[in-house]
Amino acid sequence: MSNILIINSGSSSLKFKLINMPGEKVLASGVVERIGLKESLIFYESGSIYVSKKTNIPNHSSGLKEATRLLMDYHTGVIKNQDDIAAIGHRVVHGGDLFYDTCLVDKKVKEQIKNLFSLAPLHNPPNLTGIEVAEEIFPNTRQIAVFDTAFHKTIPLKARKYAIPNKFFEEHKIELYGFHGISHKYVSQQAIEYINKPNSKIISIHLGNGCSMTAVKNGESIDHSLGFGPNNGLIMGTRSGDIDQSVIFFLIDKLGYSSQEANQILNKQSGMLGLTGNSDLRDIEDRAYEGDESCKLALEMNAYRIKKYIGAYAAIMNGLDAIIFTAGIGENSSKIRELVCKDMEFAGIELDNDVNEMGSDEIREINKPESKVKILVIPTNEELEIAKQCYQFIQ
């Protein structure tokens, strides 16, 4: 039996979970939310112990140190010292063409993760920070990296390759890599078991501060909304998603922005933040309920983009058995689910609005009984998926 500490550093959050493997028993878990915003939130749970507080967490390093303090604290902790941890598993967003499997972190791996910063500017930096802080706090513990891009290695060449000169694919490996693979893999496997159909056609919709969709056919990823970097596809918290590339040239050539400034705009100043002034959907939904027109429009735009991808992925799979809503927004925003599923009866998608409003921590159907397509809300569990891969690695 081994204790595996999972560290999942997102763009504005840090999840952590201590899991005893192979029994999959969660000893403690928590999340630091709204990192870098005015008022950060910390939640921690271990058995009957529950901690919830607001504080200032300026960066991911501070967040991870606070999480570790809770794990080792006399009153709230579940471990006495570093030796109680067999391995620390880290979610790393972008593995480029170098990492398609779980690997032990060493100096070379960290350098390669850093070299991929430009492809995942909101995620690889905090991912690496998580590794470096964990090395500092747990110097004798094995650090293991699990890559979000790995699940998408089954995407066929016709979907993976861009219509640009071949040399950029052959010499520079410019292609669709895909992200959120740990989450999409976990929830799609859960869905396959739930509907009891291995040869299934599923669309996994991961909605958080970062958002993506995956077409999963027979358990394998065959297309994905994010691409070479994590800024394509859906409208996200601070990222634009799909945009005419001419806009980028206009920003640089006509408006005088540098390429770095244009990248900053599209990655950190766009999306829901650019449309409303807020990146947190909870704030946006509250303002929309109060009548804010910019927030109403932003929610409609968000759902509209998701609908387009549902139609596209149903087409390439020649049918659809289920759609999955997962991650923070997908699991908790009944409003987004309602807007996405509205007027989708032609595709066999019929939402039960009453059931949609009900909350649950378990997998659940929110479709009408007569709906041809199952509409599933499945809590993602990237940490458990990472723990499984880490435990297999250290055996």
User: CB neighbours (10 Å) of residue 315?
Assistant: 11
pLDDT at 97 over 90: no
Phi, psi of 285 (to 5 degrees): -65, -40
Nearest residue to 33 (alpha-carbon basis) of 13, 9, 57, 60 = 13
Q: Whole-number mean pLDDT of the chain?
A: 94
Write down the pTM of the prediction. Answer: 0.85
Is 81 a known ligand-binding residue?
A: no
Query: Which single residue is written with the structure tokens 């470096």?
Result: 132
Over residues 176-222, the pLDDT tens digits come to 999 899 999 999 999 999 999 999 999 999 999 999 999 999 999 99
Question: What pLDDT is stored for residue 107 in this prediction?
Answer: 94
* Paired strand residues for 376: 324, 365
Residues identified as active-site: 148
Task: Please report which residue ranges of the chain form alpha helices under DSSP H.
Answer: 60-72, 107-115, 124-137, 157-160, 166-172, 181-195, 245-249, 259-268, 271-276, 281-289, 293-317, 327-332, 334-341, 353-356, 382-394
Over residues 111-125, the pLDDT tens digits come to 999 998 887 777 889
**CATH numbers and ranges of domains, the chain:** 2-147 (3.30.420.40), 197-377 (3.30.420.40)
Is 69 a known ligand-binding residue?
A: no
Is 362 a known ligand-binding residue?
A: no
Is 131 a known ligand-binding residue?
A: no
pLDDT at 64 over 90: no
Residue 255 has, within 13 A of its CA and on its CB side, a CA count of 13
Nearest residue to 394 (alpha-carbon basis) of 85, 152, 128 = 85
Distance separating alpha carbons of residues 212 and 371, to the nearest angstrom: 24
> Cα angle at 233 between 289 and 57, to 5 degrees?
60
Is 281 a known ligand-binding residue?
A: yes
